[in-house]
Amino acid sequence: METKILTYTAKDFKSDQQVRWCPGCGDYAIVNSLQKVMADLGVPPHKTAVISGIGCSSRLPYYMKTYGFHTIHGRGAAIATGVKAANPDLTVWQITGDGDCLAIGGNHFIHSVRRNIDINVLLFNNQIYGLTKGQYSPTTLKGKVTNSSPYGTIEEPFRPAELTMGARGTFFGRLLDVDLKNAQQVMLEAAKHKGTSVVECLVNCVIFNDGAHGYLAERNTRPDRTVFLEHGKPMIYGVNRDKGLILENGRLKAVTIGENGITEADILVHNAEDPNPTLHWELAMMQGPDLPIALGVIRAVRAETYNDALDKQIEEVKAKSKIKCFDDLVDNLEQWEI
């Protein structure tokens, strides 16, 4: 039998709509990367659904030549869950922002993660409300002056990784808008993961929170300030690839290979598939300047998905039941002839 192999290019996933984010917005990089990743993934546009809530990032579905649904604020996770549960043949992407996902949509977010419904969540984290013009969000750093916090916020921010793992998430990745190649790799792995894949996309809002991720964004310093984690590979980073991570007294520590007797063999090897999230948690929470900030796939654990469990249960119950249709259902009721 002849098998037709379909190949796609990014263009096959681009709609005719003009992209209307602010010039310089980090979201451009994500939509372009996503279109490339979709082409690489090889799932046809008509079997792809992109679901979003409300916010700057949530405009993304309009730019995709797939099935798309720009819904209401905060509910994207629940709507995407319904799409996938109803039609598991679709590859479902949820596009959301820090306000949409973690403030108004916080409840739906943690429950979709807990259920492990097979959707890919791109969480655009620019630490600000953009579309409503510059109010602080649940990820805005404490003390930040914004339009709604003129004296600085007095709230501790959420860390999306903590929430994801706290909700027993099976996949967490992190990418940076200006780091295109790595970003695409993380998205591709998120798409391949069975279950709720949460990808924190660190994006820059040029208008209301410019430079929020500036510590990472500079091309020259980035290699020393970030570590790109890959399953099965040592946690090595740095401009000269001579830095690495080890565990000392149960805590992560940055070391230099060749100093103090440290060799490459001492460096931790990343195991994203470890069901125990302790080290994933530590890696996700790393901060500079003592430690590099983790990018890449931090956690990717195999577990049954909600949609598979649902379909499996339906098949099991169907096989055992004598009720095959509505008329059977009625026939099996307690009944009498009058």
Binding residues for another protein, per CB under 8 A? Answer: 15, 17, 44-47, 49, 51, 54, 61-62, 64-72, 75, 78-87, 89-90, 107-108, 111, 310, 313-314, 317-318, 320-321, 323-327, 329-331, 333-338
Task: Pick the closest to residue 141 from 161, 162, 123, 125 (CA basis).
Answer: 125
Which one, 210 or 315, has the nearer CB to another protein?
Answer: 315
**Minimum distance from residue 43 beta carbon to another protein (Å):** 11
**Minimum distance from residue 307 beta carbon to another protein (Å):** 10
Which one, 181 or 320, has the nearer CB to another protein?
Answer: 320
- DSSP H or E stretch at residue 149: none
DSSP code, position 74: T
**Minimum distance from residue 273 beta carbon to another protein (Å):** 28
Which one, 151 or 336, has the nearer CB to another protein?
Answer: 336
Which one, 51 or 294, has the nearer CB to another protein?
Answer: 51
Half-sphere exposure of 166 (CA within 13 A, CB side): 10
Which one, 104 or 294, has the nearer CB to another protein?
Answer: 104
**Minimum distance from residue 32 beta carbon to another protein (Å):** 18
Q: How many CB atoms lie within 10 A of CB 195?
A: 25
What number of residues does the chain have?
Answer: 338
The Cα–Cα gap between 287 and 301 comes to 24
**Minimum distance from residue 312 beta carbon to another protein (Å):** 10
Which one, 83 or 176, has the nearer CB to another protein?
Answer: 83
**Minimum distance from residue 224 beta carbon to another protein (Å):** 42
**Minimum distance from residue 163 beta carbon to another protein (Å):** 14
Which one, 265 or 333, has the nearer CB to another protein?
Answer: 333
Residue 228 neighbours by CB under 8 Å, 6+ apart: 182, 237, 295, 296
- DSSP H or E stretch at residue 228: strand 226-229
Q: Are 227 and 245 in contact (CB under 8 A)?
A: yes
Q: Are 167 and 191 in contact (CB under 8 A)?
A: no
The Cα–Cα gap between 79 and 57 comes to 16
Contacts 24+ apart (CB under 8 A), 37-41: 37/184, 37/187, 37/188, 37/191, 38/8, 38/10, 38/13, 38/66, 39/7, 39/8, 39/9, 39/10, 39/12, 39/13, 40/184, 40/188, 41/91, 41/188, 41/191, 41/192
**Minimum distance from residue 177 beta carbon to another protein (Å):** 23
Which one, 15 or 221, has the nearer CB to another protein?
Answer: 15
